[in-house]
């Protein structure tokens, strides 16, 4: 069904694992945003956990997309959380202060316990 993500449902939380290592160019990001958008729009309960464990690099365009998803989910009364960030990706979130916006967890289990 999806090319760039794997999605599973845990209660009221959609867990989306991004399968790509490098989140860079715009045509690819359009596809990725559309796939995540399908998951977000498929349920009344809007809680999303993005598992970035396999991601080694992400562009500012991807950060922008994540902020847009955050606003959409937050406006619907849901939560968007992140997990599995490699140290280099976690540093990007700290440097941009996005770690203040997105709750970041070590792994899926820890994150699911916080929803």
Nearest alpha carbon to residue 77 among 52, 48, 100 = 48
pLDDT tens per residue, range 59-69? 999 999 999 99
Report the domain count for the chain: 1
User: pTM value?
Assistant: 0.92
Q: Cα(18)–Cα(54) distance, rounded to whole angstroms?
A: 7
Distance from C-alpha of 106 to C-alpha of 31, rounded to nearest angstrom: 27
CATH code of the domain in which 35 resides: 3.30.750.24
- Residues in the chain where the model's pLDDT stays below 70: none
Domain carrying residue 46 = 5-112
């Amino acid at each position: 069904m999806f090319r760039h993500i794997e999605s599973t449902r845990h209660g009221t939380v959609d867990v989306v694992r991004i399968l790509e290592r490098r989140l860079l160019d715009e045509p690819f990001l359009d596809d990725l945003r559309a796939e995540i958008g399908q998951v977000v729009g498929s349920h009344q309960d809007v809680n999303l956990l993005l598992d970035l464990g396999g991601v080694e690099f992400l562009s500012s365009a991807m950060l922008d997309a994540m902020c847009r998803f955050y606003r959409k989910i937050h406006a619907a009364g849901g939560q968007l959380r992140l997990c599995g960030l490699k140290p280099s990706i976690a540093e990007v979130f700290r440097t941009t202060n996005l770690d203040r916006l997105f709750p970041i967890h070590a792994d899926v289990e820890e994150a699911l316990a916080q929803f």
